[in-house]
A = this chain, B = another copy of it.
Amino acid sequence: MDVKLKQQASAITELTFDLLRCCEAKEKLFAKEHGLKVAEFRCLRIVEAGKTYSVQELASSMHLSPSRLTRIIDGLFAEKLVDRVQSIEDRRFAKISLTNKGQTLVGKLKEEYAALHGEMLKDISVSDRDKIYQGISLMQGLVSTWLVKNV
C-alpha cells in the first residue's frame, strides 16, 4: 500500500512535470498570436467583466507579488484594456476593472482559448474528456490546498 502510493506519486510527478512544460509552451504561443505578453494574457484571463479587483487580489490569485502586478496592470492600462481608479471607501485601494475594449478582448480570448482546447479534445470520447476533467480537477484541488498550507 505504501509502495503503491510511492509508485503512483512518482508517475504523477513525472506526468505533471511534462504537462506543465507543454502547457507553458501552449500559453506562450497563444499569447503571442494575440499580441499579448504571457503575463498580460494570464492576468486578463482571470478578470471578469463588471467586477473590480484590488492589486493584491489579482496578485494572490496569480501567485505573484503585488509589485509585479502593478507593472502588468501598467501595461494593460497603457493599452486601455483596464481602468484603474482609487477606491472611494478606502483610498489606499486600487479598483481595477475591464474597459469596454478589455471586455471585448477578454471575451474573444476566452472563446478562442477554449476553442483551442476543443480542437485538442474533439477526437477523443466524451468519457475520456470526462476522465481528463475529473483527474485534473482532483489534482488541482490537491495542489491548491497543499500550497495554502505550505507557503
Residues of chain A at the chain B interface (Cβ within 8 Å):
4-6, 8-13, 15-27, 29, 42, 45, 62-63, 113-115, 117-122, 124, 126, 128-140, 142-144, 146-147, 150-151
Closest to A136 in B: B15
The smallest C-beta distance from A76 to any residue of chain B, in angstroms, reads 18
**Copy total for this chain:** 2
Instruction: Say whether B8 contacts A136, CB under 8 Å.
Output: no
Contact (Cβ within 8 A) A151 B25: yes
Minimum distance in angstroms from A64 CB to a CB of chain B = 9
Tell me whether chain A's interface is mostly helix, strand or loop, or mixed: helix
Find out whether the CB atom of B146 lies under 8 angstroms from the CB atom of A139. no
Q: List 20 A-B contacts (CB under 8 A).
A: A4-B126, A5-B121, A9-B117, A10-B114, A15-B136, A15-B140, A16-B136, A19-B136, A19-B143, A20-B23, A22-B147, A25-B151, A26-B147, A131-B135, A132-B135, A132-B139, A132-B142, A133-B135, A135-B137, A136-B139
A134 CB contact (under 8 Å) in B117, B121, B135, B143: B135
Q: Which residues of B contact A150 (CB under 8 A)?
A: 29
Cβ B137 vs Cβ A15 within 8 A: yes
